[in-house]
Structure 1
Amino acid sequence: MPNTFIENREGWLRLSEIDYLGQFVKVWLAFNAWYRNAYSETQDRKILNELKWNANPVGNALRPLLETLSEDAEQFRSDIGLLHHRLEHYEIQTGKAEDKHRITFRKVYLRDRGPKVETINSYGYTFKVDRKANGSLDTTVLNRARAPILQHQQQKYDLEELEAIPAFGTLRPTQKNCLRELYEASAPREILDLLTQKDIEPIKCGSFSFYCSREELFAAAVEAVYLLRCHLFHGELSPTKQASECYEPAYRIVRRFLTCVT
């Protein structure tokens, strides 16, 4: 008598596979329905930026899980760790043209920054970067005699443009590094690498350690799944097995969001 399972093994295996792309779409649509009713803002990006940092049912419930000991907390952190692992092994880029960037916890956008003035004194030299409310920047370097040796105005943040001006080229290597670090600290967007080791207690997520606060890690998780949503909904995704695997932990994270709301 023929073994019907053996004959149809591959077909049964295909049918038993979970379509995480489809599951992600369904759970995001439900999540979208909630936050569209919970917030007066109409743009998804602005709503998600608020969700990342402000008090809300999702953040209030999940931020504590990033530092508590329980089976539920461990599973949530494991999902974040698995999402990081999958994104490291399969590169997904989202956005268009010069805004195109990789979805990764190693370089994740957390929030916009307000106007900022950064100043540092080093060996008698003064370095100053003034980023104004309209996004323009004034960069100045004064020598020991308080005379300007570099003055540059920009309409928007652009480190490569600053490094290309003649006055930057006249600076010594240590001065260039000093100004570069000061300029990067004045960036209009807070972008962090959560995996680089720092002198703080890390948050363990599966086999990975994230060097950040629980607020930063929650914001990063929201940002990652939102970018995956954009990549999928905008038709940018190549429907490969590896791509689908990235959406497995993303689906579980968004589904957890839903369990926090009523």
Structure 2
Amino acid sequence: MASIYLQEWINKSELDYYTMFVKAWIPFNAWYMDNFYDEVIPRTTDRKIIDFIKDNSNRYRDKIISLLRSNDEHSNEFKMLLSNLHFELERHPIPNEDERISFNNTNLNRNNLPSHVVSFRHHDYKVEFRHTQPRTTKRWICQIISKRGTNNTIHYIDLFNWSLKELHENPSYIAIPNDKKQYLDACFAEMNPKKPEIIILNPTTNSQGVYIQPSSSIEIDKNKNLYFINNYELVSRVIIEILYDLRCKLFHGELHPISANLGIYKYAYQIQNILIKELI
């Protein structure tokens, strides 16, 4: 008879890392509102304060950098948690607006590049964002220009938004010869307003084909060949942004709280729990 309750008791035995992550965020929230909230600048929203924390020295960010730099037991535990969080995010993608939350794909600041040109052989591949035009118009202009003769535009595409999907589905893009599409795509990628920061480095191999740590890198998980670029400030900014993105998913009710996502918040909670102790 008691066996009919077995599954429910098993479910109850699992830690609720969603709630635990929220509880670990609350003291951090209180700390940054007390220290960095400013009505004069103004810096009054969570987003603006988090951006300030990412970009300036403070106890929270400095602790991340210290843990990344060191190689003691405490630091190695922190790096292992980062590794676990990274691989959980890869196994169970959580979308964030148009992009997923990932160490492979984190945007820190808007890319305000107005235009970009890629030149190859007899053609210029140009993408332009005409930000002064009304939002209701097609402000993204893509052109392939022939450099022979009078610099004629031989292919022209206009879009409402920066979107690879929208670009690739456009009839004018489909009509472009395949050998030219790669150069237009490369140019378009450089104009991505949410161009991601790349912090993960692929391992190199020695003469025996064994994976080894790439030069100028931070070793995060040797067993899983996970290495970050040797830029502690940038890596710390990415970590803070990912934790904040995960926070927003919970606070805004945008996350489906299924068991598959629980591992993500388990490691996010454990990382956050280490960092908030620095604030006492």
Is the Cα contact below 8 Å between 2:140 and 2:161 reproduced in 1?
Answer: yes
Q: What SS does structure 2 have at the residue aligned with 1:189? A: coil
Of 114, 117, 120, the match for 2:115: 117
How far off its partner does 1:211 sit? 4.3
2:23 matches 1:26: yes
Is the Cα contact below 8 Å between 2:117 and 2:125 reproduced in 1?
Answer: yes
In the alignment, the residues of structure 2 paired with residue 16 and residue 219 of structure 1 have an alpha-carbon distance, to the nearest angstrom, of 35
Distance 1:157 1:29, change over 3 A: same
Q: Aligned letter for 1:244?
A: L
Tell me the equivalent position of 2:277.
259
Is the Cα contact below 8 Å between 1:200 and 1:211 reproduced in 2?
Answer: no
Could you report, residue by residue, the CA deviation over 1:49-92 in whole angstroms, capped at 9, with x for unpaired residues?
A: 33223333322332243233233322221111111122233344
Tell me the equivalent position of 1:3.
none
Runs (5+) with no aligned partner, structure 1: 1-9
Of 245, 251, 254, the match for 1:227: 245
Aligned residues: CA RMSD: 3.3
Using the size of structure 2 for normalisation, the TM-score is 0.74
Moved more, 191-200 or 76-85: 191-200
Q: Aligned letter for 1:72?
A: H
Runs (5+) with no aligned partner, structure 2: 1-6, 204-213
Q: What SS does structure 1 have at the residue aligned with 2:196? A: strand
In the alignment, the residues of structure 2 paired with residue 79 and residue 221 of structure 1 have an alpha-carbon distance, to the nearest angstrom, of 12
Q: What SS does structure 1 have at the residue aligned with 2:125? A: strand
Distance 1:15 1:166, change over 3 A: closer
More relative contact order, 1 or 2 (CA 8 Å, 6+ apart): 1
Is the Cα contact below 8 Å between 1:90 and 1:243 reproduced in 2?
Answer: yes
Q: What SS does structure 2 have at the residue aligned with 1:251? A: helix
In the alignment, the residues of structure 2 paired with residue 167 and residue 243 of structure 1 have an alpha-carbon distance, to the nearest angstrom, of 40
Of 205, 210, 214, the match for 2:220: 205
Distance 1:252 1:142, change over 3 A: same
In the alignment, the residues of structure 1 paired with residue 14 and residue 106 of structure 2 have an alpha-carbon distance, to the nearest angstrom, of 31
Tell me the equivalent position of 1:79.
81
Alignment of 1:230-249 (within 5 A): 230-249=248-267
Of 124, 127, 131, the match for 1:126: 124
How far off its partner does 1:127 sit? 1.5
In the alignment, the residues of structure 1 paired with residue 116 and residue 22 of structure 2 have an alpha-carbon distance, to the nearest angstrom, of 43
Q: What SS does structure 2 have at the residue aligned with 1:176? A: helix
Identity across matched positions, percent = 26
Is the Cα contact below 8 Å between 1:142 and 1:148 reproduced in 2?
Answer: yes
Is the Cα contact below 8 Å between 1:119 and 1:127 reproduced in 2?
Answer: yes
In the alignment, the residues of structure 1 paired with residue 99 and residue 169 of structure 2 have an alpha-carbon distance, to the nearest angstrom, of 23
2:69 matches 1:51: no
In the alignment, the residues of structure 1 paired with residue 271 and residue 197 of structure 2 have an alpha-carbon distance, to the nearest angstrom, of 21
Q: Aligned letter for 1:124?
A: H
Is the Cα contact below 8 Å between 1:202 and 1:209 reproduced in 2?
Answer: no
In the alignment, the residues of structure 2 paired with residue 238 and residue 156 of structure 1 have an alpha-carbon distance, to the nearest angstrom, of 28
How far off its partner does 1:163 sit? 3.4
Distance 1:74 1:133, change over 3 A: farther
Tell me the equivalent position of 2:235.
217
How far off its partner does 1:196 sit? 6.2
Aligned residues: 250
Could you report, residue by residue, the CA deviation over 1:5-58 in whole angstroms, capped at 9, with x for unpaired residues?
A: xxxxx9999887644333211110111111222232222223223322333332
2:179 matches 1:174: yes
